[in-house]
Amino acid sequence: MNDKWTLLWQIALRNLRAHRRKSLIVGFILFLATGIIVFFGALVDAVDAGMTRSVTQSAAGHLQIHSADAKDKLALYGDEFASMPDIGLMLDFAAVAKVVRAVPNVKAIVPMGIDFAMSSQGNEMDRWLASLRQAVRDGDEPKIVERRDHVRAVVKRMYDELSGAKEMVSAGGDFVKQLADAKRATEPEFWNTFDADRLAALEFLENKISPLETHLSDAWVQFLGTDLDAFEANFDRFKLVEGTRVPKGKRGFLFNHGFYEEYLKHRVARVLDALKRHRDEGHSIDDDAEARGKRDRLVGQYRRVLYQLDLAAGVKLEAELRTYLAQNEADLPTLLQELLKVNDSNFDERYAWFYEHIAPHIELYPVKIGDVIPLQAYTRSGYSKSVNVKVYGTYTFEGLEKSDIGKAFNLVDLITFRELYALMTPERMAEVQALREKSGIKDVKREGAEAELFGGGDTELEKTVVARGFDEFGEGGIGKISRSDAEEGFDPAELERGVAINAAVLLHDASTEAQATALLAIEAATKAADLNVKVVGWQEAAGMVGQLAVVARLILYVIVFLLLLVAVVVINNSMVIATMERVKEIGTMRAIGASRRYIASLFVIETFVLGLVAGGLGVVGGVTGIVFWQAVGLPAQNAFMTFLFSGPRLHPDVSLTHILVALTLTMFFALLSTLYPAWLASRIRPVTAMAEDG
């Protein structure tokens, strides 16, 4: 018996050598399949882990909790409609936190909520005038003088520019009136009397001069309100870039550094930065339509620089630019336009020149660290709410600086968030109801509005009434206005008490199995405590972003499946051809007593040996590839890849599981593809071999 099987193995090995071509083709296919499965398996796992880190360590946590009354699905990074879903709210966060913290494996629970606010900055002149108005309000004389002189210089510059626009002057109309106003604002009489009635002079400048500058910079700011200390402690990718942390018990705002640089920075500087990044990534400006567009539009932005220069800076810069650009006759606007005409050959030099000579004279950021900014949001009560909040600094998620997800949120303390989110209280509802009753307004729905309003019955088109004088302020004026004080503190215990929209749960053991267990345990505990909340995994909480992991894995499975399908077909074909070539040999073996099973086994052994050798080599190849990229790091080419890789480079790691899975799959499909040829060979009869011989 043993001799028989030894002989079988010997024949199989001989056959592999004898049919070298077939063995090479099949072996190569198996080598390739195994190598690819090992390589991409490890890569996808690394991407999966990277993506998990990106999401879980940058706001999502491992699990998310929100109200069970949610109308929409939670999507931390926005849903497919790019809107913020309505996920209800947890009115008593403290109760939820208490129950969740008692669940085993829970490391922390961090309350949060996401919302948008408008930060309206007006144009450059508006900002200077607002600052001057504030100085006047505060009676800050040195600042008044400094701001006043700056505004005066900028107004002069604006007038010089506008009066040069001859076509517009000849067109007449409003422009001529505007020009006359601008001229008045440049005259010594205007500035000599400025101090006599500062508010009147400011009104004139704000309403007549400022509109001459057309650039408005309103920004929608997405923010995540949270317990800032807990956030920093539990999301370990959090890193302060500039400024300081928001002190405990203080209201405060932290800009996301990427948002601060790419959306708030001075327009000219940020376009130059974007072009530099583009070039640093090895691309050319001239060869890229988007970069060319940015470059071409840059020249038209010169006024954003011009209107920020005070008199002394303007004179100094004009002299420096004349020397630098070797244009002795040109004026400052022309020189600035010339400087901003960048291309691939002069970019690096002009970029450096801009930052060395111009940046110190302009406001690179409309909001600076330490400033107090007003944030205005439409609250859930339907009314708008404005809050003054101090900007303490900028932060980033380490490794995700270039990723869009890393720039998704600015951070604000939870107390400010709650103010901007404000729910309708019973007292306010009663007040609104009283107003409605006082007005006597009846609701008219769209459907049938014309018939209802113009049916003739209640319509009054010329009722004569007598004007009645009224005093809107009565005796008590309009009541006490509550001021938003950016310096106002709060009791840190307040963070727990009150509303949270959702909360991130972080686990000690974050393995997939542990996450699933914790999810079920929290669900059970909150249900037992009658808390009416829903618990979801980070993939679900991250919305479309979370689905990327599933999609990436699905793509790998499809690729591997197709690859193995091709391998099955190729191996099967090769073996069938080999069987046909070996009819005589098999027939002879059958004639001398080899059973059908014996013949079939011969083919299976051949494939098994080939699979082991080629698969083994494939494993070596795949592992070598992974080891190489592990050492070097696979570079992220764009923001999306930075998110996938959870950093600028991906360092994949190979495990025994990858090797075993690859070998098992390869062997299984190789043997599967041998079944038909083996069966075919086993059906060969001795007479067929003899007939072929004849």
Site for other proteins in 360-379 (CB under 8 A): 374, 376, 378
What residues numbered 70-99 form the site for other proteins, per CB under 8 A?
A: 86
Report yes or no: 336 and 327 within 8 Å, Cβ to Cβ. Answer: no
Nearest Cα neighbor of 405 from 232, 235, 639 is 639
- Segment interacting with other proteins, rule: CB under 8 A, options 153-161, 209-217, 313-321, 583-591: 209-217
What residues numbered 434-453 form the site for other proteins, per CB under 8 A?
A: 435-436, 438-441, 443-446, 449-451, 453
- Least Å distance, CB 107 to other proteins, is 36
Q: Report how far residue 307's alpha carbon sits from residue 80's, in angstroms, rounded to the nearest whole number.
A: 41
HSE-up of residue 285 (Cα within 13 Å, Cβ side): 21
Nearer to other proteins, 381 or 688 (CB): 381
Q: Report how far residue 26's alpha carbon sits from residue 607's, in angstroms, rounded to the nearest whole number.
A: 9
For 616-674, the DSSP string reads HHHHHHHHHHHHHHHHH-EEP-SHHHHHHHTSSEE-----HHHHHHHHHHHHHHHHHHH
Q: Which residues face 223 on adjacent strands?
A: 115, 410
> 10 Å Cβ neighbour count for 566?
13
Q: CA dist 473 to 67, 468, 477, 479, Å?
A: 43, 15, 4, 9
What residues numbered 95-124 form the site for other proteins, per CB under 8 A?
A: 120, 122-123
- Least Å distance, CB 82 to other proteins, is 17
- Least Å distance, CB 156 to other proteins, is 22
Nearer to other proteins, 211 or 247 (CB): 211
- Segment interacting with other proteins, rule: CB under 8 A, options 28-36, 104-112, 383-391, 500-508: 383-391
How many residues bind to other proteins according to rule CB under 8 A? 76
- Segment interacting with other proteins, rule: CB under 8 A, options 153-161, 225-233, 456-464, 488-496: 456-464
What residues numbered 482-541 form the site for other proteins, per CB under 8 A?
A: 482-484
Q: Report how far residue 365's alpha carbon sits from residue 265's, in angstroms, rounded to the nearest whole number.
A: 5
Report yes or no: 27 and 551 within 8 Å, Cβ to Cβ. Answer: no
User: Which H or E run contains 399?
Assistant: none
Nearest Cα neighbor of 394 from 413, 411, 373 is 411
Nearer to other proteins, 467 or 493 (CB): 467
Nearer to other proteins, 357 or 385 (CB): 385
Nearer to other proteins, 204 or 608 (CB): 204
- Least Å distance, CB 255 to other proteins, is 18
Work out whether 24 is an interface residue with other proteins (CB under 8 A). Answer: no
Nearer to other proteins, 223 or 238 (CB): 223
Owner of token pair 């995700």: 400
Q: DSSP 3-state assignment of 223?
A: strand
Nearer to other proteins, 315 or 444 (CB): 444
Q: Report how far residue 288's alpha carbon sits from residue 280's, in angstroms, rounded to the nearest whole number.
A: 14
Position among 193, 207, 547, 657 found at the interface with other proteins (CB under 8 A): 207
Cβ neighbours for 164, distance < 8 A, ≥ 6 positions apart: none
Q: Report how far residue 641's alpha carbon sits from residue 339's, in angstroms, rounded to the nearest whole number.
A: 34
Output the six-digit token pair for 164.
């040069």
Position among 326, 481, 493, 656 found at the interface with other proteins (CB under 8 A): 481
Nearer to other proteins, 61 or 252 (CB): 252
Nearer to other proteins, 170 or 328 (CB): 170
Output the six-digit token pair for 297.
């539009």
Cβ neighbours for 667, distance < 8 A, ≥ 6 positions apart: 608, 611, 612, 615
Q: Kindly report the CA angle at 85 between 79 and 86, in degrees rounded to 5?
A: 165
Nearer to other proteins, 481 or 592 (CB): 481
Nearer to other proteins, 204 or 679 (CB): 204
- Least Å distance, CB 89 to other proteins, is 14
What residues numbered 210-239 form the site for other proteins, per CB under 8 A?
A: 210-211, 216
Strands 410-413 vs 649-650: parallel, antiparallel or unpaired = unpaired
- Segment interacting with other proteins, rule: CB under 8 A, options 159-167, 201-209, 400-408, 533-541: 201-209
Work out whether 468 is an interface residue with other proteins (CB under 8 A). Answer: yes
Q: Report how far residue 183's alpha carbon sits from residue 175's, in angstroms, rounded to the nearest whole number.
A: 12
Position among 479, 528, 530, 592 found at the interface with other proteins (CB under 8 A): 479
What residues numbered 386-445 form the site for other proteins, per CB under 8 A?
A: 386-388, 424, 428-429, 431-432, 435-436, 438-441, 443-445
Q: Report how far residue 340's alpha carbon sits from residue 300's, in angstroms, rounded to the nearest whole number.
A: 9
Position among 460, 487, 513, 530 found at the interface with other proteins (CB under 8 A): 460
Report yes or no: 211 and 158 within 8 Å, Cβ to Cβ. Answer: no
Nearer to other proteins, 207 or 664 (CB): 207
- Least Å distance, CB 461 to other proteins, is 5
- Least Å distance, CB 219 to other proteins, is 12
- Least Å distance, CB 502 to other proteins, is 19
- Segment interacting with other proteins, rule: CB under 8 A, options 33-41, 236-244, 481-489, 536-544: 481-489
Lay out the site mask for other proteins across 152-191 (x = CB under 8 A, - = otherwise).
Answer: ---------------------xx-----------------
Work out whether 133 is an interface residue with other proteins (CB under 8 A). Answer: yes
- Least Å distance, CB 117 to other proteins, is 12
> 10 Å Cβ neighbour count for 269?
21
Nearest Cα neighbor of 666 from 557, 560, 556 is 560
- Least Å distance, CB 187 to other proteins, is 20
Q: Report how far residue 593's alpha carbon sits from residue 576's, in angstroms, rounded to the nearest whole number.
A: 23
Work out whether 464 is an interface residue with other proteins (CB under 8 A). Answer: yes
Nearer to other proteins, 477 or 694 (CB): 477
Output the six-digit token pair for 236.
């370990």
> 10 Å Cβ neighbour count for 57?
22
Work out whether 345 is an interface residue with other proteins (CB under 8 A). Answer: no
Q: Report how far residue 537's alpha carbon sits from residue 269's, in angstroms, rounded to the nearest whole number.
A: 41
Handedness of CA 64, 65, 68, 71 (dihedral sign): negative
Nearer to other proteins, 133 or 590 (CB): 133
Q: Report how far residue 377's alpha carbon sits from residue 387's, in angstroms, rounded to the nearest whole number.
A: 9
- Least Å distance, CB 350 to other proteins, is 33
Owner of token pair 């793509």: 555
Position among 1, 478, 528, 656 found at the interface with other proteins (CB under 8 A): 478
In angstroms and rounded to an integer, the radius of gyration of the C-alpha atoms of the chain is: 37
Owner of token pair 């004279």: 361
